[in-house]
Amino acid sequence: MRLALPDRILLALGALAGLLGVVASAAAAHSGGAESLKTAAQFLLFHAPVVIGLVALSQSGATHRLVTRSAAVAVVLGLALFCGDLALRALYGTPLFAMAAPAGGIVLMLAWATVGVAAFVPVRA
């Protein structure tokens, strides 16, 4: 089965989240007082497999494709906002924008709720 373009993009973004999680972990290990960067790294590393798993679920037909993809997109967006803000603050002392981290956290919570919804949305045969 070939991956559709949206799923290929999400898979690549999931891999990028994992890569950036490793990079942020290394940067946090080599800089003093980098708790925010450590948190960003952990979030990236925890959620990268989630995005990849959601792509697999979407492709397998086990869950509703649109709902599952929407959850994956929300995870990616939440990570970009939350982790991007924490990393910029830790590395450069400047926020992504006001309230970016809380907004990203809320988007991540909504993404997880959407994953739960995807478990119950009927899949067309």
Going by C-alpha positions, the residue among 46, 9, 10 that lies closest to residue 25 is 46
Give the single-character DSSP code of 119: T
Q: What per-residue confidence (pLDDT) applies to 31? A: 81
| SS3 category, 97 | coil
Residue 123 contacts residue 64 (beta carbons within 8 Å): yes
**pLDDT, tens only, 61-87:** 899 999 999 999 999 999 999 999 999
Every domain of the chain and the residues it spans: 5-116
Rounded average pLDDT over 47-60: 96
Angle between the 35-60 and 100-118 helix axes, to the nearest 10 degrees?
30
> What integer pLDDT is reported at residue 125 of this predicted model?
64
